[in-house]
Structure 1
């Protein structure tokens, strides 16, 4: 299987050079023009009641008075030094300023309660508090008062932080490509239809000046609060009749036809300053990454903003908006501050959500993270038949549906990334359909990927290059079994007609490697040895052969500008197939795969990894539709063949799969990121097995092995019967520079034995702990008490009677 996303990066090499710059200009709050009026107080009202501005002004006056009364009278206390006096004055000034902007805790009334949590609401602003009965922690839907410094926040950001809703919008009658920003404060929003519900409250923010109506709901559940933007009652800009009325009443001013592009709901829930440095932001970059709270962090524009489940090629194509970071596979983020921590899981509308995380001094004084829901997307609109010239604009149609985020408030004893991952594991089991795995014995299943064949570019025509025939595959498997590899999961790639670089018309198995009969015989042989066999099915994502009745202009995935999306290969190009066309072909081919006796398919790319809208009128599909199509393919594959695997897959695919290949074990190396942590691995271990990329083509083989041991991953190898140099010059296999099985057989057997010792008896155990013992030395603990200490350093680690050799690991069974 091809390494995911390498082709994307080659196609758009030029675009990548400008991605960060264009992304910063588009996404940085405050960079976009904002001409909205900026009142000092919320101007809002409940239906049939006085305006919230009046109420909130009264509340804030009470806050300020209470703050003043709490200060010692002049002359009663003396500071020891001028410095301490100045510091006290600054603190008082900050408290007074905070009290004028945000409501105090005693102004909130109870909305819902259970055995763990209380939800309280401030009806005049729409903000809420969550009080944790277990440890008396208080969570606010606005920035924490601790460490507030008025001078470190601009007036614009004070209003953003005061507002429960942050809005991005575009004015189609002004600049169709320019995003503006506003909030309920600037828009003088009123609160309408406030009501307490069975589990919380519901209200509507009405902004008649700009034409937005945003209904929201907040519900208290067992150990979490769910915030939701509701579709019912949502209004997005003025109607045609309202626009005419506006222009009639404002003859010198034309309505700007404002339409929402993005919304953040309660974006500062859980935010904290860096006054206390014992905290971090958790972001879903790679397996999981921490951004530490740092008091001395220099002001900068570094922040994280990535779309969940990766780019949508139907919008990213031709508009220079591709991210160079790894795609986000998990719809999560988190915040730890001192002894309290929360995990956010983006639930409804995750397909249209982004994760935004900003360390202190990148935008304001707070460390904060939030979900931003996309309602319209920027795209390239061609203006000529060749579709090379055009302009940037936003989609007119709005993506509909409820959008929700669950905020899990963790126990004090679990207030770190391990606790976050453990709670996410519980979510995966209770809400996403995953179940603990059952193992037959204590032998891990080594991941062996075999390359069948590829084509080689010729002067007049291409030549077929067999690399591992089915007969030769039996030889490879037999040798590995004979030297100690007791269990293998074998994925066969390049088996389809034409080999690895040919897409479309997969069956029958190419006769050049043995045909259907040869493959069936190999599968029977592997089963007799106790091994599992899957076929690589990720290549159904593309078609470059025209087989299966495919025509690029008719059956290819199209962007909103009606451009067919194609991927440039090392030699030639392939068309991205419409998801509905792909689904139809795959479901027909499952019966053919079943006749071979195969155990399943290893899927990827457009079946579990890419998530694209399709504007091809024959096969039209939203991003949400595309997810449903992919899940149906996984479900049918599992139902008819017995199992499915996925490569570098999005987490919605995991409930259908037996193994995840290519699970990331490193972050994207942004300069402001501090530490990679195995969040994904902690969440998944014991639910599905997983491996990272191929050991024999990794940059640092020794570190790869240690990282896999630390993360509880099964090693994977890409092998051929042909010698490695025979891959040189093939169309697509130039990345696989060391695949000859005889070069690796003894090493594979050695590492299989070591990994079995470390991980064989904990395959079905949850990871219960992970920590750094000292720099370069990490410990992973399993639920049964087994501990594995990994030493990446060039010198031995010795402590508490435990010795771990340099660049090695030690296993401590049963908590010894």
Structure 2
């Protein structure tokens, strides 16, 4: 570990910056008024709506005429019918149409002839858009090439009826490969699947990826009003527009994030915690939600705005079949590009849910996905009633941190267990009684001294006896205590692993190793190396820790990274596919859930939700890529009323007041990362970037923020989000299942909503107490 030190001048400057930030954020009175939960904050009255037209907000919907449905041509034959849908297919092109019987609207997998005639398409894209499949394959000389069903000389070998649909055996003559495409109705859903056992290859070329019916719901320019939904962080929209800047690249999100064992680091522009996407043709008129089922662990969501390659807006799943990689042959990085010889063995399937009327928007999509998860047993509602209690606060306490010195690494105690009691006492005196207390750096070596955190408990914080005493103290006040750990990465100083056998290996057989604090950063701890842990080993480590936690009487664990980062392991002795890794983490979580009272997970992917009591660090924004027009609370709509979810710590925010309003808008609970000792003591630690953590500096803004949020959200804790309207730029109105409506005004101007005055930078509660 490096022993270099940051200049103390930098820390002093940081202190002044933090002071200025909190003067700006909390200089005005933030105590909620007794009437309608209105804050007293009022800023620039001449600000106008311009700042709220940015893509980190949601735009108001513009009035639009009813979207005219396409007619079903005579060459399309009906191949399935359910209570709500009719399914048709064109024999020549294999294109499909789906009629929503409730609305009469017809969805198509291929644009109309008129749109194709008006589109500025080269020959390659003319062929691609008319194809039921887009593909990538590796050539005989191991180069990656793009193609389509038609460009590869696709032909139908066999057509076989199946229940409510059809199975088509396809040959791709140009590359001597083939597969079966199944299209059917399952209840009131359309299901498109490619069974793994149907895929075959007889030539030198090998399939790399496949996109079935990628142009389902595609829109030419802005000929139809509406948008595409993409699951970027909390959720984002790409609205159909005739005029926009020229985009350089599409949205490409690996579902569940980058697989560092097989993905190139520049292969994706985003990540998604849920395997969904959607299209709206006329808000509150027609919508479709795509849910990637089989094959989702090795799939991406790809969305193209108009003007990028074609004049169409389109969004599609992209299923990986095999990965390419660089195989080094020397220590000087000589080597060659190659690809997996064997395909990833999984079926590939996408389900489409069709929405109409009031449910035809991003909220309706979220509700549809919520129902889908409920039906699969992956999302269950808590039995306890909470709406009469105060909302919870995540009280995240940094215990010990590692410090570099000339005598080696040592622990800097930032919050001892005795000091933790004092912080809790002070917050309870301020009226905050519902807390989830999370201890970071409780272990020997401190927060960044060891990963995973290792027992015994750090003696400088009070040791095991001090932790037991804190646990009993908090239990007496009804406050759960969580210890933070992660079982996904290990630092090179860990005593728990044999890295030759326990570290994850990439496709090229090299160990997944990286500088934990970044490549080429100015961090003085960039010599701390991390390695991914084999999921099987992770389960064993977690099981051992469970027994130690039970002995200490700890209520729960807060899993960091383990519910978020998902990698394959290509170690030949104990390989794990990405799907098997996810299942291992589910079993790990299930073990904690069965042994401890509470399980919290940071930024959890949806396959972990079944086991989580609490979700920490949930994003309440999008990545704000240039092609994104809106940020929306899709994730929060799915979760609200089922699992408590918290934002990132407010004292890490550049605009806490804005984020407080956004948390109220998104139904999200607050979080603070605190220390007892002053934050300047972190100047020689990896946590030097934490500028404001001392609880005495933050007690007042924390208390004021909590009171406002508690007033806003206390009555809707058990309720689900049922609708969200944006009456004007910088405004939102969220309706809950218990009839309560919360209206948030982000702007610096007062606003009248249905006769109710909403003060600037404030909120009102309509209904309830």
Q: Normalising by the residue count of structure 1, what TM-score does the alignment of the two structures yield?
A: 0.81
Deviation, 1:661, is 1.2
1:660 alignment counterpart: 615
Partner of 2:344: 399
- Residues 378 and 607 of structure 2 are in contact (CA less than 8 Å); yes or no, is this contact kept in structure 1? no
- Displacement of 1:332 after TM fit? 0.6
Q: Match for residue 219 of structure 2? A: 272
Deviations 1:468-489 (A, max 9, x none): 1111111111211122012101
Residues 1:294 and 2:241 aligned together: yes
What aligned pairs does 1:629-668 form with structure 2 within 5 A after superposition?
A: 629-668=584-623
The answer to whether 1:580 aligns with 2:536 is yes
Q: Distance in 1 between matches of 2:677 and 2:197?
A: 61
| 2:472 maps to 1:521 | no
Aligned-partner SS, 1:321: coil
Residue 465 of structure 1: CA displacement? 0.6
Please tell me whether the aligned partners of residues 509 and 516 of structure 1 are also in contact (alpha carbons under 8 angstroms). yes
Report the counterpart of residue 39 of structure 2 in structure 1. Answer: none
Mapped partners of 2:727, 2:582: distance in 1: 41
Counterpart selection for 2:550 from 588, 594, 604:
594
Conserved 8 A contact 1:543-1:576: no
**1:307 aligns with one of 254, 264, 270:** 254
1:698 pairs with 630, 646, 653, which one?
653
Alignment partner of 1:331 is 2:268:
no
Cα deviation digits, residues 693-712 of structure 1 (max 9, x gap): 10011111111111101000
What's the counterpart of residue 714 of structure 2? 760
Deviation at 1:466, TM superposition (A): 0.8
Distance 1:648 1:505 in 2: 19
Query: Secondary structure of 1:327's partner?
Result: strand
| Larger deviation, residues 264-273 vs 217-226 | 217-226
Give 1:799 shift: 3.9
What does the per-residue CA deviation read over 1:557-598, in whole Å, with 9 as the maximum and x for residues that have no partner?
111112212231341222222222122111122111111222
Q: How does 1:193-592 map to 2 (within 5 A)?
A: 193-238=158-203, 257-297=204-244, 300-316=247-263, 319-321=264-266, 323=268, 325-338=269-282, 339-384=285-330, 386=331, 388-437=333-382, 438-440=384-386, 441-501=388-448, 502-504=450-452, 506-538=454-486, 541-548=489-496, 550-568=497-515, 569=517, 570=523, 571=525, 572-592=528-548
Is this contact kept in 2: 1:123–1:194, CA < 8 A?
A: no
CA deviation map 1:468-516 (0-9, x unaligned):
1111111111211122012101111101111111124611212221222
Aligned equivalent of 2:75: 107
**CA–CA distance in 2 between the matches of 1:792 and 1:237?**
60
- Would the aligned equivalents of 2:488 and 2:565 in 1 still touch at CA under 8 Å? no
SS at 1:455's partner residue?
strand
The answer to whether the 8 A contact 1:504-1:544 is kept is: no
Equivalent residue runs for 1:722-737 within 5 Å? 722-730=677-685, 732-737=686-691
Alpha carbons 1:302, 1:672 under 8 Å: kept: no
Task: Verify the 8 A CA contact 1:567 1:576 in the aligned structure 2.
Answer: no
Where 2:262 maps in the other structure, the secondary structure is helix
Deviations 1:159-208 (A, max 9, x none): 1111111110011x32x2x3212222122222123111112111111123
Change (3 A) 1:784 1:647: same
SS at match of 1:313: coil
State the alpha-carbon separation in 1 of the partners of residues 549 and 225 from structure 2: 54
1 CA distance for matches of 2:439 and 2:168? 55
Check if 1:125 corresponds to 2:81: no
What is the match of residue 18 of structure 2? none
Q: How far, CA to CA, are the matches of 2:160 and 2:225 in structure 1?
A: 38
Residues 651 and 693 in structure 2, CA contact (< 8 A), matched pair in contact too: yes
Inter-partner Cα distance in structure 2 for 1:144 and 1:753: 55
Measured in 1, the distance between the counterparts of 2:265 and 2:452 equals 29
Matched, 1:712 2:712: no
How well do the aligned residues superpose, as a CA RMSD in angstroms?
1.9
Cα distance in 2 for partners of 1:304, 1:236 equals 30
**In the aligned structure 2, how far is the partner of 1:278 from the partner of 1:315?**
39
> CA separation in 2, counterparts of 1:183 and 1:540?
38
Structure 1 residue 151, shift from structure 2 partner: 4.9
Measured after TM superposition, the shift of residue 403 of structure 1 is 0.6
- Structure 1 residue 751 displacement after superposition: 2.2
Q: 1:149 and 2:117 equivalent?
A: yes
- 1:41-52 to structure 2, matched below 5 A, reads none
- Measured in 2, the distance between the counterparts of 1:518 and 1:439 equals 33
> How much has 1:326 moved relative to structure 2?
4.3
Cα separation, partners in 2 of 1:466 and 1:237, compared to 1, 3 Å: farther
Partner Cα separation in structure 1 for residue 360 and residue 637 of structure 2: 15
CA positional deviation for 1:123: 3.3
SS in 2 for 1:428: helix
Distance 1:381 1:425 in 2: 42
What is the Cα deviation at residue 379 of structure 1? 1.7
Instruction: State the alpha-carbon separation in 1 of the partners of residues 586 and 119 from structure 2.
Output: 50
Structure 2 contact 488–532 (Cα < 8 Å) conserved: no
Listed as ranges, the gaps of 5+ residues in structure 2 are 1-69, 518-522
Further displaced range: 614-623 or 485-494: 614-623
1:167 matched to which residue of 2?
135
Question: What CA distance in whole angstroms lies between the structure 1 residues aligned with 2:653 and 2:645?
Answer: 17
1:211 is displaced (CA, Å) by: 1.3
- For the pair 1:773 / 2:720, whether they are aligned, the reply is no
Equivalent residues of 1:723, 1:739 under 8 A apart: yes
Cα offsets for 1:728-752 (capped at 9, x unmatched): 211x212321111111223222222
Describe the SS at the equivalent of 2:627: coil
The one-character-per-residue Cα deviations of 1:278-317 (angstroms, maximum 9, x if unpaired) are 211111112111111012245543321121111110124x
Partner of residue 794 from structure 1, selected from 733, 748, 751? 748
Kept in 1, the 8 Å contact 2:751–2:760? The answer is: yes
Contact 1:141 1:269 in 2 (8 A): yes
Q: Which residue of 2 aligns with 1:15?
A: none
What is the CA deviation profile of residues 587-640 of structure 1, one whole-angstrom value per residue up to 9, with x for unaligned ones? 1221111112222211131x1111101122333211111111111111111011
Determine the structure 2 residue equivalent to 1:688: 643
Is contact 1:662–1:692 with CA below 8 Å preserved after alignment?
yes
Instruction: Look up the SS of the partner of 1:152 in the other structure.
Output: coil
Do the aligned partners of residues 354 and 320 (structure 1) sit closer, same or farther apart at CA in structure 2, a change above 3 Å counting? closer
Residue 21 of structure 2 corresponds to none
1:68-124 residue CA offsets vs partner (Å, 9 max, x unmatched): xxxxxxxxxxxxxxxxxxxxxxxxxxxxxxxxxx99622222222111111122333
- Deviation, 1:146, is 6.0
Q: Measure, in 2, the Cα distance between the counterparts of 1:754 and 1:103.
A: 53
Tell me by how many angstroms 1:150 deviates. 4.1
Shift in CA distance, 146/705, structure 1 to aligned 2, threshold 3 Å: farther
Task: Kindly indicate whether the alpha-carbon contact (under 8 Å) linking 2:452 and 2:486 is maintained by their aligned counterparts in 1.
Answer: no
| TM-score, reference length from structure 2 | 0.86
Unaligned runs of 5+ in 1: 1-101, 239-256
Match of 1:120, SS state, is: strand
1:144 and 1:272 in contact (8 A); partners too: no
Q: 1: distance between equivalents of 2:354 and 2:180?
A: 24
Change (3 A) 1:295 1:379: same
Q: Report the number of matched residues.
A: 686
The answer to whether the Cα contact below 8 Å between 2:247 and 2:626 also exists between their aligned partners in 1 is: no
1:187 aligns with 2:152: yes
Q: Secondary structure of 1:590's partner? A: helix
